[in-house]
Structure 1
Amino acid sequence: MSEIHLNDATFDKEVLEYKGVVLVDFWAPWCGPCRMLGPVIEELASEYEGKAKICKINTDDAAEKSTQYRIASIPTILFFKDGELKKQLMGLQSKEELKKQLDALL
């Protein structure tokens, strides 16, 4: 399974109303570190299929949610559980760190 692409209109349903763990990658196509993180996000989507929802949201297309969550730099990764924000990581992260955060919430 591939990651779920969100926008301002789908964010609440896919993330805040979801019962379970969700990783949301705030990114943009012009961001070098974001592009480096892309393959890692895709791998996590496959590895955590059925356990956690792995999502991406393009900050250029989602100004409302980027503002709401005070996204000051990208990539920024938000972790939610049962619709509640649990953790925020800024900057390029290793796959191991992202797995550690996901596993802690599962």
Structure 2
Amino acid sequence: MIELTKDNFDAEVNIDGVVMVDYWSESCERCIELMPDVIKLSEEYGEQIKFCKLNIKGSRRLAMAQKVMGLPSIVFYKNGERLEHLSGEELEVEDITSTIKNYL
């Protein structure tokens, strides 16, 4: 997974194809719980979808500009356009997997 920052966000996300961005924080327990599963998904589907993660610590303005107001948040982009936003404490890896399969 590619680590995003405010410096490389546009270059990594505004590309041809589908990009999934995992917005997370060390203080978000659910984010930490989901991380191993998200990494497995990146290994399984990484040839078809670009997987990135953004620690919102130090990048809050960027997250807010992307309309990410709560964690965990998984946002899908295609050709630089925001497509779908999955969020909330109830977010499960099955929800993420299902959305990935929709964009394959």
TM-score (ref. length: structure 2): 0.91
SS in 2 for 1:85: strand
SS in 1 for 2:85: strand
Match of residue 80 from structure 2 = 83
Match of residue 54 from structure 1 = 51
Match of residue 15 from structure 1 = 13
- Equivalents in 2 of 1:63, 1:40: separation in Å? 24
Match of residue 25 from structure 1 = 22
- Equivalents in 1 of 2:93, 2:29: separation in Å? 17
C-alpha displacement of 1:90: 0.8
C-alpha displacement of 1:63: 2.1
- Equivalents in 1 of 2:42, 2:87: separation in Å? 19
Runs of 4+ in 1 over 4 A off after TM superposition: none
The answer as to whether partners of 1:25 and 1:57 remain within 8 angstroms in 2 is yes
C-alpha displacement of 1:101: 0.7
Match of residue 41 from structure 1 = 38
Q: List gaps (5 residues or longer) in structure 2.
A: none
- Equivalents in 1 of 2:47, 2:96: separation in Å? 17
- Equivalents in 1 of 2:36, 2:102: separation in Å? 22
Match of residue 101 from structure 1 = 99
TM-score (ref. length: structure 1): 0.90
SS in 2 for 1:25: strand
Q: List gaps (5 residues or longer) in structure 1.
A: none
The letter of the residue matching 1:73 is G
The answer as to whether partners of 1:23 and 1:78 remain within 8 angstroms in 2 is yes
- Equivalents in 2 of 1:74, 1:8: separation in Å? 18
C-alpha displacement of 1:27: 0.5
The answer as to whether partners of 1:21 and 1:102 remain within 8 angstroms in 2 is no
